[in-house]
């Protein structure tokens, strides 16, 4: 479903310049004054026409060309509107007050936020769905010996049973601990009956990768059992990307202890019980505020009824109407073209908050009533302010008897302000005329990614590209690189939002990976000779700023625009460094010699004359040293 915002504002325009006015007047001469036959520049009448044309041009010089006016009109006619602000998203971890002995539910719409320290207004987030934190009990405890899996879950939970999960231990054997999906623990208590000897191993967690797959990563653990040689606690901190996934047929949050070395005669421990504590639950949160209920008005039974929400932009909403039998949910649609007379449908403009009902032929007309059209609940919000850093969402804005605290372990991303007119002009034809809301070509994927959130700066489609094997083309695979605005990382929550948006529009045979850009670090040394009038300190700062702007992944790539933007000659910025574009020393010479105050470039130091960038990579300026020679 496309996201409806404000109509694109259309100015009154006239694109004629003095030459066009002059030519039009000259063309009219034969009709108006056929006796005037000398149309050469030397004729005094032509001189007067040119002078008049210059006067007319001054009246219309501030107006834009006709093409932008027509483009805006066409976009409005085909339903392209300014995309409203999008909400930043991030996964938040909720810590319980005590070890749960029953399921704890945090309802959708629960409010958390930043602290609002230093007088700043808190940034509010709400949960995107219900979070259930289950009873603190291992879901599965499995032993893997040479590929043979044995389930010891019942033994691990029974205090009256002793068992050895790895009876003939060897390198590569592993113990797997599974907890409920989106639920986590930070303490594992191990009751050892017979101590282990001669073994060593590593703790690992299953991390979510950029391509949507998972991999086992090392986990730093404070081991109170001293390698299973005594009873004790294993404590650690839950990583931000420890994601639930399916191992075999079991979907859970997975942790494992993998044997790396066994001394001659070594043996694993005999255990009594395994217990967990320090429980957390994870849920996606959006930069939004919830309105529990709002009465929109009373239906008078007329066609094409319109109502307006008090708060915008709207993220999600439930519209209900009471037609005499109690309030019932109505369904949001893009338009009424496929709606029957009795279909309870409505259209929503998320940018303006306008709700439109049908005309009785396409979409049902709400029956008469008093205060019988309501929204309950709905969420509104969004904007770039929601792209807060990791560890900043720490305040519970509501009380919950079993929740002690909240934190976001990675930065929020995807928050963007309302789409600009120029962005809509670029996006609109591609969205409506080419993609038709379907992802088929590489350009379709990029257009739809940008449509999914105004917090995304750029997207790059890599057909047949598998992030795990970048050099092996894979039919049916499409990887899409997503670059959020403002340099924010691609959070798991934003990645899931983009994947969900594309999944609804892809071909059935297409598998989509949403990946982050891979950055190639670049260190640069610059020595320039300044002009006599230039200030050394000011020139050094200007050189640094220009080089940084040139390498900016969102706005770099154009030498002329980088210089003009930094030196305040123009507010226009570049399109962003092109994916896969190499870095050339010769291009840096051209860039630096454009800077006012640089007489000439003496030396540029790079790791190589040409730094090769793969098609899925961007350069990242890490260090720049600048030397000014007088």
Q: Rounded to whole angstroms, how far apart are CA atoms 399 and 602?
A: 64
Q: Rounded to whole angstroms, how far apart are CA atoms 185 and 237?
A: 9
Q: Rounded to whole angstroms, how far apart are CA atoms 415 and 421?
A: 18
Is the predicted pLDDT of residue 357 greater than 80, yes or no? yes
What's the pLDDT tens digit per position in 63-95? 444 455 666 666 777 677 778 888 999 999 999
Task: Express as a percent the part of the chain with pLDDT over 90.
Answer: 58
Q: Rounded to whole angstroms, how far apart are CA atoms 279 and 101?
A: 11
Start-to-end CA span in the chain (Å) = 61
Average pLDDT on 199-218 reads 84
Residue with tokens 């282990």: 196
Show the tokens assigned to 350: 């998320």
Predicted confidence at residue 65, as pLDDT, reads 47
Q: Which of 66, 68, 61 is nearest to 18 (CA)?
A: 61
Contacts of residue 224, Cβ cutoff 8 Å, sequence gap at least 6: 232, 233, 234, 235
Residue extents of the structural domains in the chain: 18-77, 89-133+384-408, 140-279, 290-380, 421-518, 519-629
What is the phi-psi region of residue 51: left when phi exceeds 0, alpha when psi lies from -120 to 50, beta otherwise? Answer: alpha
Contact at 8 Å (CB) between 546 and 522?
A: no
Which helix H or strand E contains 503, and what residues bound it? Answer: helix 492-503
Q: Which of 216, 217, 241 is nearest to 491 (CA)?
A: 241
Q: Is the dihedral of CA 177, 180, 185, 187 positive or negative?
A: negative
Q: Rounded to whole angstroms, how far apart are CA atoms 394 and 117?
A: 11
Which helix H or strand E contains 105, and what residues bound it? Answer: strand 104-106
Q: Which of 249, 262, 32, 295 is nearest to 149 (CA)?
A: 249
What's the pLDDT tens digit per position in 552-572? 999 999 999 999 999 888 888
Q: Rounded to whole angstroms, how far apart are CA atoms 107 and 129?
A: 7
What's the pLDDT tens digit per position in 224-246? 999 999 999 999 999 988 888 87
With bands split at pLDDT 50, 70 and 90, how would you rate the model's confidence at 435?
low
Residue with tokens 């050339």: 584
Average pLDDT on 17-25 reads 80
CATH of 421-518, one of 3.40.50, 2.70.98, 3.30.70, 3.30.300: 3.30.300
> How much of the chain is in helix, strand and coil states, percent to nearest 5?
20, 35, 45
Predicted confidence at residue 11, as pLDDT, reads 57
Q: Rounded to whole angstroms, how far apart are CA atoms 88 and 317?
A: 18
Assign a CATH topology to domain 140-279.
Jelly Rolls (2.60.120)
Q: Rounded to whole angstroms, how far apart are CA atoms 330 and 82?
A: 25
């Amino acid at each position: 479903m496309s996201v409806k915002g404000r109509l694109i504002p259309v100015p009154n325009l006239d694109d004629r310049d003095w030459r066009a006015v002059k030519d039009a007047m000259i063309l009219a001469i034969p009709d108006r004054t056929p006796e005037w036959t000398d149309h050469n520049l030397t004729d005094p009448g032509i001189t007067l026409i040119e002078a008049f044309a210059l006067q007319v041009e001054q009246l219309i010089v501030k107006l834009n060309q006709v093409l932008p006016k027509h483009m805006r009109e066409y976009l409005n006619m085909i339903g392209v509107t300014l995309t409203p602000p999008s909400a930043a998203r991030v996964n938040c971890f909720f810590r319980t007050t005590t070890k749960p002995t029953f399921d704890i539910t945090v309802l959708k719409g629960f409010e958390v936020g930043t602290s609002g320290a230093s007088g700043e207004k808190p940034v509010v987030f709400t949960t995107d769905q219900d979070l259930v934190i289950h009873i603190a009990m291992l879901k599965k405890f499995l032993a893997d010996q040479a590929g043979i899996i044995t389930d010891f879950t019942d033994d691990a939970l029974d205090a009256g049973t002793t068992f050895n999960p790895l009876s003939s231990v060897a390198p590569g054997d592993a113990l797997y601990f599974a907890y409920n999906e989106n639920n986590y623990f930070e303490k594992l208590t191990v009751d050892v009956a017979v101590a282990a000897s001669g073994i060593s191993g590593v703790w690992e967690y299953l991390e979510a990768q950029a391509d949507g797959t998972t991999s086992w990563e090392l986990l730093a653990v404070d081991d109170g059992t001293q390698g299973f040689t005594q009873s004790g606690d294993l404590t650690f901190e839950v990583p931000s990307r420890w994601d639930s996934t399916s191992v075999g047929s079991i979907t859970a949050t997975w942790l494992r202890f993998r044997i790396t070395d066994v001394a001659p005669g070594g043996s694993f421990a005999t255990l009594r019980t395994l217990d967990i504590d320090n429980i957390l639950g994870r849920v996606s949160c959006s930069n939004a505020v919830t309105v529990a209920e709002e009465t929109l008005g009373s239906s008078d039974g007329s066609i094409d009824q319109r109502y307006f929400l008090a708060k915008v932009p709207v993220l999600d909403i439930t519209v209900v109407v009471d037609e005499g039998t109690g309030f019932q949910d109505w369904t949001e649609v893009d338009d009424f073209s496929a709606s029957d007379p009795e279909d309870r449908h409505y259209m929503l403009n998320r940018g303006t908050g306008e709700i439109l009902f049908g005309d009785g032929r396409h979409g049902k007309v709400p029956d008469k009533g008093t205060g019988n059209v309501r929204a309950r609940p709905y969420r509104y919000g969004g904007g770039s302010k929601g792209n807060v850093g990791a560890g900043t969402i720490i305040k519970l804005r509501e009380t919950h008897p079993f929740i002690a605290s909240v934190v976001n372990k990675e930065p929020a991303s995807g928050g963007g302000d309302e789409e600009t007119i120029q962005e809509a002009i670029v996006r609109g034809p591609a969205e409506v005329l080419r993609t038709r809301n379907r992802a088929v070509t590489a350009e379709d994927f990029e257009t739809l990614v940008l449509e999914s959130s105004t917090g995304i700066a750029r997207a790059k489609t890599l057909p047949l590209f598998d992030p795990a094997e970048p050099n092996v083309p894979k039919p049916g695979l499409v990887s899409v690189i997503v670059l959020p605005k403002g340099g924010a990382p691609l959070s798991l929550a934003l990645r899931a939002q983009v994947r969900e948006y594309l999944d609804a529009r892809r071909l059935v045979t297409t598998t989509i990976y949403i990946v982050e850009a891979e950055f190639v670090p670049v260190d640069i040394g610059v020595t320039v000779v300044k002009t006599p009038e230039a200030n050394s300190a000011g020139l050094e700062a200007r050189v640094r700023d220009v080089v940084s702007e040139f390498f900016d992944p969102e706005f770099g790539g154009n030498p002329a625009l980088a210089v003009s933007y930094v030196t305040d000659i123009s507010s226009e910025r570049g399109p962003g460094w092109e994916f896969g574009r190499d870095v050339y020393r010769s291009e840096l010479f051209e860039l630096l010699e454009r800077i006012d105050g640089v007489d000439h470039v003496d030396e540029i130091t790079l790791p190589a004359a040409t730094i090769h960038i793969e098609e899925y990579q961007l350069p990242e300026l890490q260090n720049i040293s600048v030397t000014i020679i007088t």
